[in-house]
Chain A
Amino acid sequence: MTLKTTIQSILKTLSVKTRLYWQMTKSLQTGLLLSTGLAGYMSARCPIQAWQTLLALAGSLFLAISGSTVINMVYDRYIDARMPRTQKRPLPSGQVGVVEALVLGGVLSVTGIGWAALLSPLFGLIVFAGLFFDVVVYTIWLKRRTPWSIIWGGIAGGMPALAGRALGLGAIDWVGLIFAMAVLLWIPTHIMTFSLRYREDYARAGVPTFPSTYGERTTSIIIALSSIATAIAMAFAAYGIGITWGYMRLLIILSCGLLALAIRSMVRPSFKMNFSLFKFASLYMLSSMALVVLGVL
Chain B
Amino acid sequence: MMLRSDLQLIADWIPARSRVLDLGCGDGQLLAYLSQHKKVVGYGVEIDVNNVIRCVSSGINVVQGDLEAGLSDFQSDAFDVVVLSQTIQAMRHIEQIMVEMLRVGREAIVSFPNFGYWKNRLQILQGHMPVSETIPYDWHNTPNIHLCMLRDFEALCAKNQIEVKERVVMDGGSRIDFLPNLLGSLAFYRIGRAV
Q: Do A and B come from one complex?
A: no
